[in-house]
Chains A and B, each alone.
Chain A
Amino acid sequence: AQSVTQPDIHITVSEGASLELRCNYSYGATPYLFWYVQSPGQGLQLLLKYFSGDTLVQGIKGFEAEFKRSQSSFNLRKPSVHWSDAAEYFCAVGAAGYSSASKIIFGSGTRLSIRP
């Protein structure tokens, strides 16, 4: 069965420091991978996605992620965080389903706090 693991529940980094959020997935075929961000009291917004091709994908707000098949990982990175990046981050894998039904399976999320 498909699954997503985000091993870090909560991470605190200083403003201006670099960031890496970890994500490991379990999926039998080539996965569709996503990172979403949820700001407090808001819905989720897509940061970036990977389907195929270049394993380093660029997203919005200066984020990037790298797909590593050998490690079943899709870690999210940002070179320099801003206070506005404080939010909950969700990694997700897209699972092709029966007939036309497909669904996204989310990890449990990593809460990012920014130290001034």
Chain B
Amino acid sequence: DTAVSQTPKYLVTQMGNDKSIKCEQNLGHDTMYWYKQDSKKFLKIMFSYNNKELIINETVPNRFSPKSPDKAHLNLHINSLELGDSAVYFCASSPGTGVSNEQFFGPGTRLTVL
């Protein structure tokens, strides 16, 4: 049973397109996250939701819009894709918002913008 799953695993698209990445967790966690890992492996948080409410919104272009239809799902929609958006995007979940909570990561979505 996959704990945190993401679809698609790979996404290749043209500049200017709009795309979505989906994330689902079956761990019963309240908190979910999106991270971006760049080509140098640097991992940075983008957003966090707790019980469908946005609680962390880092300095991310507003072309990126997360949506949480329920606490088991956190999707990421990206408008007007740019070359610099190419990266691996990881979804994660944790039981709660406290920093002591272990985060469980999905396998990642490799986005390539041509």
Binding site for B on A (CB under 8 A): 32, 36, 41-46, 49, 51, 88, 90, 94-97, 99-106, 108-109, 111
Instruction: Label chain A's interface by main secondary structure.
Output: strand
**Chain A nearest CB, measured from B111 CB (Å):** 15
**Alpha-carbon distance A75/B100, docked complex (angstroms):** 19
A95 touches B50 (CB 8 A): no
- B12 is an interface residue with CB less than 8 A from chain A: no
Per the CB 8 Å criterion, the residue count for chain B at the interface is 23
Check A103/B48 contact, CB under 8 A, given A43-B105, A43-B108, A95-B99: yes
Chain B residues whose C-beta falls within 8 Å of the C-beta of A51 in the assembled complex: 100
B43 touches A90 (CB 8 A): yes
**Alpha-carbon distance A102/B48, docked complex (angstroms):** 9
**Chain A nearest CB, measured from B38 CB (Å):** 10
Chain B residues whose C-beta falls within 8 Å of the C-beta of A100 in the assembled complex: 50, 55, 97-98
B97 touches A41 (CB 8 A): no
A41 touches B41 (CB 8 A): no
Nearest residue (CB) in B for A103 is B45
Check A32/B99 contact, CB under 8 A, given A43-B106, A97-B56, A104-B45: yes
**Alpha-carbon distance A100/B98, docked complex (angstroms):** 7
Task: Kindly identify which residue among B50, B56, B105, B107 contacts A103, using a CB–CB cutoff of 8 Å.
Answer: B56
B43 touches A46 (CB 8 A): no
